[in-house]
């Protein structure tokens, strides 16, 4: 008995590596489902549709290597949900973060409300006892 890695496309398992099986041979296919083990740790704590969670996951993966956030938080409130990307300098991070959010929207059709916040601004909000700081602090970490 041999094994071969395959991907499911258009209703058929297609090998993604060389396969020397004879034409017409029978096979037993064992496949993995997208289970919670493969999902990020924040998945179950974010109150959003599966579609939005997939978009958030793709967004987070897309900004890695482009910006280096101190933190990324998902904040849900009665007014809606937002993603806060906390960075040292918002000037250098703003464009790549917003471009990635736009790419996710273009690919998946899911709008992600994103704000890029400098740590200096977040610290001012903390010192002022601002409600927005409390909301961000209580949000779900996406990193």
The CATH number of residue 121's host domain is 3.30.460
What is the per-residue pLDDT for 34? 55
Percent of the chain whose predicted confidence (pLDDT) is above 70: 94
Q: How confident is the model at residue 27 (pLDDT cuts 50, 70, 90)?
A: confident
Number of domains in the chain: 1
Task: Indicate whether 4 belongs to any domain.
Answer: no
In a domain, 63, yes or no: yes
- Domain hosting 102: range is 40-141
The three-state secondary structure class of 15 is: strand
Model pTM score: 0.72
37 has a pLDDT exceeding 50? no
71-77, strands of its sheet edge to edge: 114-118, 80-87, 71-77, 140-141
Q: Which residue has the higher pLDDT, 25 or 97?
A: 97
pLDDT at 1: 64
Angle value at C-alpha 93, between 90 and 94, nearest 5 degrees: 75
Other beta carbons less than 10 A from residue 19's beta carbon: 13
Between 101 and 24, the more confident residue is: 101
Answer yes or no: is 1 within a domain: no
pLDDT digits (tens, 9 = 90+) for 45-88: 999 999 999 999 999 999 998 999 999 999 998 888 999 999 99
Identify whether 31 is part of a domain. no
| Residue at 124 is within a domain | yes
Closest CA to 122 of 81, 80, 77, 86: 86
Q: Is the pLDDT of residue 93 over 60?
A: yes
H helix intervals, 35-80: 50-63
**22 within domain boundaries:** no
Residue 130: inside a domain, yes or no?
Answer: yes
> Within a domain: residue 26?
no
- The average pLDDT across 40-48 equals 92
């Amino acid at each position: 008995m041999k094994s071969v890695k395959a991907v499911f496309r258009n209703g058929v398992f297609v090998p993604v590596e060389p396969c020397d099986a004879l034409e017409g041979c029978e096979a037993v296919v064992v496949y993995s489902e997208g289970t919670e083990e493969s999902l990020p740790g924040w998945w179950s704590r974010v109150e959003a549709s599966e579609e939005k969670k997939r978009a958030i996951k793709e967004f987070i993966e897309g900004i890695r290597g482009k910006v280096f956030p101190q933190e990324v938080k998902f904040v849900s409130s009665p007014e809606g949900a937002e993603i806060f990307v906390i960075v040292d300098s918002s000037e250098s991070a703003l464009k790549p973060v917003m471009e990635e959010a736009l790419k996710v929207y273009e690919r998946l059709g899911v709008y992600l409300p994103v704000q890029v916040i400098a740590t200096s601004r977040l610290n001012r909000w903390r010192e002022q006892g601002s409600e927005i700081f409390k909301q961000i602090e209580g949000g779900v970490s996406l990193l």
